[in-house]
């Protein structure tokens, strides 16, 4: 089954992926493409609608992204957002000026409800809040357009040319603060572009399963399972498609959280696949003894991981397909990345070239994280796996500052377990994006009973973030921190002090190493 396609044309704004996610929330399949994509290529993709994203400040700047007028002559409906709105006006002969008063944030907006974008939206009245973020505005609309929304400072908050199916909004309908933002996008997609809205994870699962079946035939498939949501959902999909032609190798390096290795194994126990768990803790520990430098730890674990995987893969013999859990944000972001390496990430998704296989299968390549989760639920994967928070490849090894010992590992596993329990008890486990304990290498004086102690300081970290590139520290209520801290010092030996990390990223990072 092929889906109708919406193209999100990326002009470099900060909300590009958010727009794509909103489109998918409307049941419409979309792909993000660079504004540099040649018009011929766009034609070949045969989209039923195009959305221009926001982007840099001014269309008049030489280095600002532009687009050929031809895009408006394809007969495909276009919705321009923010910079995309200004670009549409500018390219079609209107004009753009700099605001006397820039608008930023929640802005009172007046809508014309006769526009298809703003009609049949019960949540939207003639005056509502929209989210603005602009220093330029459309000062003259192109011929054939009419104004359909304005604010006190922005005469053209929305415009449209109904005959040509061209629409533009200066505000950001993709941001939650815009009242009825999702309905506005939905109106464009369903009323203007006539999308039928058949992009659901149930459809996706059926299509993907039959495509995988056709491709794999009776071949052998290998998957490196980390227990993370991406590789687990990929495994579930492959299991449904090819059953025991699939072998999952789960390398347990011993730095998983408390009970986690067993939980992963249990989650797959009932599936008709070959599941190999390699308990390689001793092998990893022997390489890490005395190592305290974070980068050396990461590299050592990454390399050892590959060695262990290689040994196991060899036992299976030649495989035809290797599965990777690559997801759509990785696809969008790869290629644009010349950012400095802050930490060398180890990820089982990035397995190298040593396993002898014919082809790579990436069944989640087109899905956002929340869609991967929905797919996991659709496939009947357990909650433990579907809602698992991100966990770094090197595991607790990079949450123990300094050298790693068995004792420190136990302390951290127990403390982290209690912290997670308290967060879940307070119903915060889905609103805090990542939370964990770190065993610092510092010891200090305390008093317990009548005796002096000289024990470890444990740090708690909780962050809220959408992309993990930047993060804020989570405002965990004091009473939750208090009960976690009290339980940890009482129940875990050798911890006598707890601190909460209140730094943002940047300048910190989420993990401590
Ligand atoms: P940092 O510490 O760089 O972490 O702010 C950002 C996110 O990435 C996770 N992380 C990793 N994930 N392999 C992974 O798969 C790694 O080596 C790794 N290091 C950090 C981290 O947990 C956070 O979610």
404 Cβ inside 6 Å of ligand 1: no
Q: Return the axis-axis angle of helices 229-242 and 201-216, rounded to nearest 10°.
A: 60
Contact between 132 and 107 under an 8 Å Cβ cutoff? The reply is: yes
pLDDT score, position 341: 55
Count how many residues are written for the chain.
513
Domain spanning 399-500: CATH 3.30.300.10: yes
Strand partners, 158: 149, 169
Could you give the residue numbers annotated as active site? 82, 172, 174
List Cβ neighbours of 457 (8 Å cut-off, separation of 6 or more).
Answer: 440, 442, 443, 444, 495, 496, 497, 498, 499
Q: How far is CA 106 from CA 130, 151, 176, 178, in A?
A: 6, 11, 11, 8
Select from 271, 15, 213 the least CA-distant residue to 131: 15
**How far is residue 70 from each of residues 75, 76, 88, 91, 364, measured CA to CA in Å?**
10, 11, 12, 10, 33
Per the structure block, which two tokens stand in for 267?
A: 């989650």
Q: What secondary structure does DSSP assign to 27-84, as a single string?
A: T-EEEEEETTS-HHHHHHH--SEEEE---SS-TTSTTS----GGGGGSS--EEEETHH
Radius of gyration of the chain (CA): 26
Tokens of 204: 């996706």
Give yes or no for a contact between 160 and 117, defined as CB atoms under 8 angstroms apart. Answer: yes
Q: Ligand 1, residue 471: give the atom nearest the CA.
A: 5
Q: Is the CB of 468 under 6 A from ligand 1?
A: yes
Q: Which atom of ligand 1 is found nearest the CA of 345?
A: 17
- Return the DSSP state at 304: H
Q: Domain 201-386: which CATH class? A: alpha beta
Q: What's the CA gap between 363 and 356, in Å, rounded?
A: 20
What is the DSSP-derived secondary structure letter of residue 191? I
Q: Counting atoms of ligand 1 from 1, which one is nearest the CA of 505? A: 5
C-alpha–C-alpha distance, residues 127 and 116, integer Å: 16
CA 46/CA 29 separation, integer angstroms = 13
325 lines ligand 1 (CB under 6 A): no
CATH 3.40.50.880 fits 5-192, yes or no: yes
From the CB of 394, is ligand 1 less than 6 Å away? yes
Paired tokens of 15: 């909300």
Query: Which residue(s) pair with 33 in the sheet?
Result: 9
**pTM, full prediction:** 0.81
pLDDT in tens, the chain (513 residues): 567 999 999 998 878 888 999 999 999 999 999 999 999 999 999 999 999 999 988 999 989 999 999 999 999 999 999 999 999 999 999 999 998 888 999 999 999 999 999 999 888 889 999 999 999 999 999 999 999 999 999 999 999 999 999 999 999 999 988 999 999 999 999 999 999 999 999 999 999 999 999 999 999 999 999 989 999 999 999 999 999 999 999 999 999 999 999 999 999 999 999 999 999 999 999 999 999 999 999 999 999 998 898 888 889 888 999 998 889 877 776 644 334 556 666 555 445 556 678 888 999 998 988 899 999 999 999 888 999 999 999 999 999 999 999 999 999 999 999 999 999 999 999 999 999 999 999 999 999 988 999 999 999 999 998 778 788 999 999 999 999 999 999 999 999 999 999 999 889 999 999
Instruction: Check for a shared fold between 5-192 and 201-386.
Output: yes
Q: 507 preceded by cis ω (within 30°)?
A: yes
- Which among 189, 183, 175, 168 is positioned nearest to 29, based on CA atoms? 189
Count of other CB atoms within 10 angstroms of residue 51: 30
Q: How far apart are CA 495 and CA 381, in angstroms?
A: 36
Give tens-digit pLDDT for 21-79. Answer: 999 999 999 999 999 999 999 999 999 999 999 998 899 998 999 999 999 999 999 99
Tokens 């082809």 correspond to: 359
Nearest CA to ligand 1 atom 7: 468
| CA atoms of 499 and 511, how far apart (whole Å) | 15
CA-nearest residue, atom 10 of ligand 1: 392
Helix 406-425, helix 478-491: angle, nearest 10: 140
How far does residue 510's CA lie from ligand 1's centre (Å)? Answer: 7
Q: Is the CB of 369 under 6 A from ligand 1?
A: no
Residue 392 CA to ligand 1 center (angstroms) comes to: 5
Q: Which atom of ligand 1 is nearest to the CA of 433?
A: 24
Helix axis angle, 229-242 to 369-378, nearest 10° = 40
Residue-range domain boundaries for the chain: 5-192, 201-386, 399-500
The pLDDT value given to residue 335: 43
Record the tokens describing residue 259, joined without a space.
């009970």
Given a contact cutoff of 8 angstroms between Cβ atoms, the answer to whether 411 and 459 are in contact is no
pLDDT at 351: 54
Helix, coil or strand: residue 370: helix
Q: Is 392 in the pocket of ligand 1 (CB under 6 A)?
A: yes
Cα–Cα distances in angstroms (integers) from residue 495 to residues 100, 441, 443, 449, 499, in the given order: 58, 11, 9, 14, 11
């Amino acid at each position: 089954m092929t889906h109708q396609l919406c193209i999100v044309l990326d002009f470099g704004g900060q909300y590009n992926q958010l727009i794509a996610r909103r489109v998918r929330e409307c049941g419409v399949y979309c792909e993000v493409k660079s504004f540099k994509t040649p018009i011929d290529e766009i034609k070949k993709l045969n989209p039923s609608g195009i959305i221009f994203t926001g982007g840099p400040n001014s269309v008049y700047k030489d280095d600002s992204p532009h687009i050929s007028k031809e895009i408006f002559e394809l007969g495909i409906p276009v919705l321009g957002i923010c910079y995309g709105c200004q670009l549409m006006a500018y390219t079609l002969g209107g004009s753009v000026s700099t605001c006397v008063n820039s608008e930023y944030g929640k802005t009172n907006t007046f809508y014309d409800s006769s526009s298809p974008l703003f009609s049949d939206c019960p949540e939207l009245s003639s005056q509502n809040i929209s989210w603005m973020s602009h220093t330029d505005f459309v000062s003259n609309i192109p011929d054939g357009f009419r104004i359909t929304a304005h604010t006190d400072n922005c005469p053209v908050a929305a415009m449209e040319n109904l005959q040509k199916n061209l629409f533009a909004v200066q505000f950001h309908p993709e941001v939650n603060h815009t009242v009825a933002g999702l309905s506005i996008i939905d109106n464009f997609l369903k009323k203007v572009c006539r999308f039928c809205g058949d992009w659901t994870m149930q459809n996706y699962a059926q299509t993907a399963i039959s495509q995988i079946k056709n491709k794999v035939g009776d071949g052998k498939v290998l998957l490196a399972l980390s227990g993370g949501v991406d590789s687990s959902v990929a495994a579930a999909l492959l299991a449904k498609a090819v059953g025991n032609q699939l072998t999952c190798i789960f390398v347990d390096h011993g730095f998983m959280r408390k009970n986690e290795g067993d939980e992963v194994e249990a989650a797959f126990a009932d599936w008709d696949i070959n599941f190999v768990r390699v308990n390689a803790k001793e092998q990893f520990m022997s390489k890490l003894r005395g190592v305290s430098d974070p980068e050396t730890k990461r590299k050592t674990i990454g390399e050892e991981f590959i060695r262990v995987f290689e040994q196991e893969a060899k036992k299976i013999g030649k495989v035809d397909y290797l599965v990777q859990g690559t997801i759509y944000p990785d696809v969008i972001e790869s290629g644009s990345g010349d950012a400095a390496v802050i930490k060398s990430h180890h990820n089982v998704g990035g397995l190298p070239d040593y396993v002898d296989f014919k082809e790579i299968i990436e069944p989640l390549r087109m899905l956002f994280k929340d869609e991967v989760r929905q797919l996991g639920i659709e496939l009947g994967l357990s909650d433990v796996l579907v809602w698992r928070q991100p966990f770094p490849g090197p595991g607790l090894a990079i949450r123990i500052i300094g050298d790693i010992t068995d004792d420190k590992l136990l302390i951290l596993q127990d403390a982290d377990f209690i912290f997670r329990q308290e967060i879940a008890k307070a119903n915060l486990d889905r609103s805090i994006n990542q939370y964990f304990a770190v065993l610092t290498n510092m010891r200090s004086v305390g008093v317990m009973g009548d005796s002096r102690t000289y024990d470890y300081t444990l740090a708690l970290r909780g962050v809220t973030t959408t992309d993990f590139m930047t993060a804020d520290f989570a405002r965990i209520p004091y009473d939750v921190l208090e009960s976690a801290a009290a339980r940890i010092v009482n129940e875990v030996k050798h911890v006598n002090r707890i601190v909460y990390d209140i730094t943002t990223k940047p300048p910190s990072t989420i993990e401590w190493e």
